[in-house]
A and B are shown apart, each in its own frame.
Chain A
Amino acid sequence: MSFSRALLAHDWQNARRILRRHPELINQRDRQNPLPIEKSIQIGDVEAFDFLIEHGASIHLPGILKLAYRGPSYVILMKLLDMGINMYEPIDDTLVLNLLAYECRVQDALLLLRRGYQVNRASSTGRTAL
Chain B
Amino acid sequence: MIDLLCEWNADVNKISRDGRPVLALTVPNIGYNLTAFERLLAWGANSSLLRMNQVAASLLGEVKQRIDHAAMYRRKELLACLP
**Chain A interface residues toward B at CB < 8 A:** 101, 104, 106, 109-110, 113, 119-120, 125-130
Interface residue B80 (Cβ < 8 Å from any Cβ of A): no
Find chain A residues with CB under 8 A from B2 CB.
130
Contact between chains at A130 and B5 (CB < 8 Å): yes
Contact of A120 among B1, B10, B40 (CB under 8 A): B10
A120 vs B5: C-alpha distance when bound (angstroms): 9
Interface residue B14 (Cβ < 8 Å from any Cβ of A): yes
Task: Write the chain A residue with the least CB distance to B18.
Answer: A126
Given A106-B4, A110-B4, A130-B22, A120 and B9 contact (CB-CB distance below 8 Å): yes
CB proximity of B44 to chain A, nearest CB, Å = 12
A123 vs B12: C-alpha distance when bound (angstroms): 16
What are some 14 contacts across the A-B interface (CB < 8 A)? A109-B5, A110-B4, A113-B4, A113-B8, A119-B5, A119-B9, A120-B9, A120-B10, A120-B14, A126-B17, A129-B10, A130-B6, A130-B11, A130-B12
Task: Write the chain A residue with the least CB distance to B36.
Answer: A130
Task: Write the chain A residue with the least CB distance to B43.
Answer: A130
A101 vs B8: C-alpha distance when bound (angstroms): 13
Find chain A residues with CB under 8 A from B9 CB.
119-120
A101 vs B10: C-alpha distance when bound (angstroms): 12
Find chain A residues with CB under 8 A from B4 CB.
106, 109-110, 113
CB proximity of A129 to chain B, nearest CB, Å = 6
Contact between chains at A106 and B1 (CB < 8 Å): yes
Interface centre among B4, B14, B22 (most CB of A within 10 A): B4
Contact between chains at B14 and A130 (CB < 8 Å): yes
A103 vs B10: C-alpha distance when bound (angstroms): 18
Contact between chains at A129 and B16 (CB < 8 Å): no
Contact between chains at A104 and B1 (CB < 8 Å): yes
A-B complex: 4 closest residue pairs judged by Cβ atoms: A126-B17, A130-B10, A119-B8, A119-B10
A110 vs B7: C-alpha distance when bound (angstroms): 10
Task: Write the chain B residue with the least CB distance to A97.
Answer: B5
CB proximity of A94 to chain B, nearest CB, Å = 14
